[in-house]
């Protein structure tokens, strides 16, 4: 074999090896690209899944917050409704003779539990009945003073000797019955929402 044939054979073998190597490299690159694309797609899906989970979590938080705000709004509406109802009832009661009867009876009942001096406090407007209030205290020593802290009415009677205080204010009565009044108010609102005629729910007696 002469040098020309040998050289040609070497060049052909080298070209074949180079082509095979290039094909092998190209195949390896394609494999890497496919693996990279697969990992990228998996990453994108995972990110999308996590983003969706975060969105769902945020939506749940927003929904829970909305429910809480609606509950707060209903409670505030109930408090306003109840406050307006009580204030209106108190104004109506104060305009009747029954309020004066209640006030004098409250003084009389509290004074019976006191052996010494009775210190009576009423809302300023009720001082017009000062003489009758003192008379209701009976034959014991008694004094009457205005108390701006008593806004709705009734009285505070203090046992000067023992330091006991008998609270017969309308505020105190309301506080004691506020839970029942709230239930009644909620029932009224629920009946109104259902279109139920008022007064069809059995009435409960509210005692002082």
CATH architecture for the domain at 97-208: 2-Layer Sandwich (3.30)
Residue 153 burial (CB count, 10 A): 22
pLDDT of 167 above 70: yes
**Spatial contact of 174 and 139, defined as CB atoms under 8 Å apart:** no
Q: For residue 17, name the pLDDT band (cuts at 50, 70, 90).
A: confident
3 state DSSP class of 162: coil
pLDDT of residue 108: 94
pLDDT of residue 205: 46
Instruction: Name the residue with higher pLDDT: 163 or 79.
Output: 163
20 vs 149: CA distance, rounded Å: 103
pLDDT of residue 197: 54
pTM for this model (two decimals): 0.52
* Cα angle: 186, vertex 188, 193; to 5 degrees: 95
Q: For residue 91, name the pLDDT band (cuts at 50, 70, 90).
A: confident
Q: Where are the domains of the chain?
A: 1-95, 97-208
């Amino acid at each position: 074999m002469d040098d020309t044939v040998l050289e040609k054979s070497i060049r052909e073998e080298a070209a074949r090896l180079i082509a095979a190597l290039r094909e092998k490299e190209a195949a390896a690159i394609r494999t890497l690209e496919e693996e990279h694309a697969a990992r990228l797609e998996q990453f994108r899906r995972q990110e999308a899944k996590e983003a969706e989970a975060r969105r769902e979590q945020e939506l749940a938080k927003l929904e829970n917050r909305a429910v809480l705000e609606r509950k707060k709004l209903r409670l505030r509406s109930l408090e306003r409704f109840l406050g307006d109802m009580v204030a209106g009832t108190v104004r109506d009661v104060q305009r009747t003779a029954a309020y004066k009867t209640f006030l004098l009876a409250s003084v009389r009942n509290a004074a019976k539990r006191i052996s010494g001096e009775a210190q009576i406090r009423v809302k300023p407007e009720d001082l017009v009945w000062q003489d009758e209030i003192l008379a209701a205290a009976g034959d014991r020593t008694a004094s009457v003073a205005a108390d701006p802290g008593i806004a709705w009415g009734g009285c505070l009677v203090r046992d000067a000797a023992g330091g006991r205080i008998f609270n017969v204010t309308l505020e105190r009565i309301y506080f004691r019955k506020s839970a029942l009044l709230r239930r009644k108010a909620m029932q009224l609102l629920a009946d109104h929402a259902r279109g139920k005629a008022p007064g069809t729910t059995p009435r409960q007696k509210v005692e002082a």
